[in-house]
Structure 1
Amino acid sequence: MNIQEYHLKRATLLQEAPQYRTLCTTCIQPQFGCYCAQVNTFDSKINFVVLIHPIEAKRRIATGRMSHLTLNDSHLIQGQDYTQDRYVNNLINDSEYHSVILYPGHQSKNVSPLNREEKAALFPTDKKLRIFVIDGTWATARKMVRLSENLKQIPRICFTPAKPSNFRVRKQPGAECYSTIEAIHHTIELLGDSQGFNTSTREHDHLLNVFDYMVERQLEFIRESNANPKASTYRREAQKKSA
């Protein structure tokens, strides 16, 4: 093979090589799916700590990351067993905050039926409220809580969903099962006023606005992909991974 043939073959191989999409470094989405322009940040007066499972972190619609980008004064920490996680332990042991974990179950205090005074009485008045939220599938979330001994020591709260989830691009175990961003939004709806956040401003709806935008975008991609079966399978693969 002479030098001319080599360059020709190399050019052909480069042309045939798969073209990888550039990802936004903030929302970790392909440029065509970047939702950063839709994010409107706000201060909920509640410090949210999103503990995201590594598998969840790789999903096209990772609503825990979406929540973190929208919420001022929030944390996003990837992991599975947080028992020895120094950063998480420092957050739990921070004396300026009262920590609870949003997690369903018989050990959790349901805040939905409580009035404002009862909600305020749940938490110390001299400390800020910090809520840990598990971001993963129901199976991975259970495993994260089971493995993380430090999370077992935190009081648990839960709520009764007011309406079905709008997460139409991912199969949920039940209509009452919320995505992470929907769960955070509803928690603010229930507890915000008792923590100094004025829910009547509807600022917390910024969470649902960016979420609904991404759901509609993903549905649009799916419709386009199904209408053009000869197109790249990238979007169909994304659909399968989101299911």
Structure 2
Amino acid sequence: MSRARCERCARPLSHCLCHLIPRLPSRSRVLILQHPDEVGHALNTARLAALGLENCELRVGERFAELALDPAYRSCLLFPGEAARTLPLPDDDPRPLQLVVPDGTWRKARKLLHLNPQLAALPRVCLPAGLQSRYRLRKAPAEGALATLEAIVAALELQEAPARFDALLRPFEALIEGQIAAMGEDTYRRNHQPGR
């Protein structure tokens, strides 16, 4: 028998995160394209971003044939690449930014680009080097490898400074703390603390 889940955040009712999820406005629009394999992931930070941002849409799939991008926004793909411009972008275009964000492992995100040439053709933007993830449970987190929610928060804070979006990270932090509590402090220290 499965545990009852919150219809909004999809967490078990005993671990509902809705009280931690803000509802923040942004000038930029965020369109998250989530690989289907991510939907059941324990963190599913893309869902947290979609719930916490007023100007955000989450679509799930591998092929996005109906990807009509609003010309009122300058659409950019948030994904590294040789031609990617580091955020923030200059104000040489009066339109607000639309960040198109693939959500999945690096391999799955690349597959989304391969299956959707319209995505791959978008101008790319990236985050500055040196950002560190708060997700302390990865065995060996690569530098700059952020959870989708972390990448969105960083991008918005760069592009819309001095506006702050770190309130979006509260449910993410609660998820991490919950995972650490479930595994026990000793197991966490043994397997995830640097230098061990």
Q: TM-score range by the shorter chain?
A: 0.7 to 0.9
Q: Distance in 1 between matches of 2:182 and 2:87?
A: 38
Contact 1:64 1:180 in 2 (8 A): yes
CA change 1:223–1:164 in 2 (3 A) is same
Q: Report the alpha carbon displacement of residue 161 of structure 1 after superposing the two structures with TM.
A: 4.1
CA change 1:63–1:205 in 2 (3 A) is same
Residue 102 (str. 1) matches residue 78 (str. 2): yes
Query: Counterpart amino acid of 1:77?
Result: R
Q: Distance in 1 between matches of 2:144 and 2:120?
A: 24
Query: Counterpart amino acid of 1:95?
Result: P
Q: Report the alpha carbon displacement of residue 81 of structure 1 after superposing the two structures with TM.
A: 2.0
Contact 2:78 2:126 in 1 (8 A): yes
Any residues of structure 2 matched to 1:130-209 within 5 Å, and which?
130-171=98-139, 174-193=142-161, 198-199=162-163, 202=164, 204-209=165-170
Q: Identical aligned pairs, as a percentage?
A: 30
Residue 56 (str. 1) matches residue 38 (str. 2): yes
Q: Residue 150 of structure 1 aligns to a residue in which SS?
A: helix
Query: Counterpart amino acid of 2:178?
Result: R
CA change 1:36–1:141 in 2 (3 A) is same
Query: Counterpart amino acid of 1:135?
Result: D
CA change 1:28–1:131 in 2 (3 A) is same
Is there any run of 5+ residues in structure 2 with no aligned partner, and where? 188-196
Contact 2:130 2:143 in 1 (8 A): no
Q: TM-score of the superposition, structure 1-length normalised?
A: 0.72
Contact 1:102 1:134 in 2 (8 A): yes
Residue 77 of structure 1 corresponds to 59
CA offset digits 1:73-103 (Å, max 9, x no partner)? 2100001122x2x2xx22x2x2212111100
Q: Distance in 2 between matches of 1:53 and 1:190?
A: 26
Poorly superposed stretches of 4+, deviation over 3 Å? 170-173
Q: Report the alpha carbon displacement of residue 219 of structure 1 after superposing the two structures with TM.
A: 1.3
Residue 120 (str. 1) matches residue 81 (str. 2): no
Higher percent of residues as helix: 1
Residue 177 of structure 2 corresponds to 216
CA change 1:172–1:50 in 2 (3 A) is farther
Contact 1:111 1:158 in 2 (8 A): yes
Q: Distance in 1 between matches of 2:135 and 2:91?
A: 31
CA change 1:185–1:95 in 2 (3 A) is same
Q: Distance in 2 between matches of 1:184 and 1:137?
A: 15
Is there any run of 5+ residues in structure 1 with no aligned partner, and where? 1-18, 113-117, 227-243
CA offset digits 1:164-218 (Å, max 9, x no partner)? 111123446513211101101110121013xxxx42xx3x111122211211112
Query: Counterpart amino acid of 2:126?
Result: C
Q: Report the alpha carbon displacement of residue 104 of structure 1 after superposing the two structures with TM.
A: 0.6
RMSD over aligned CA atoms reads 2.1
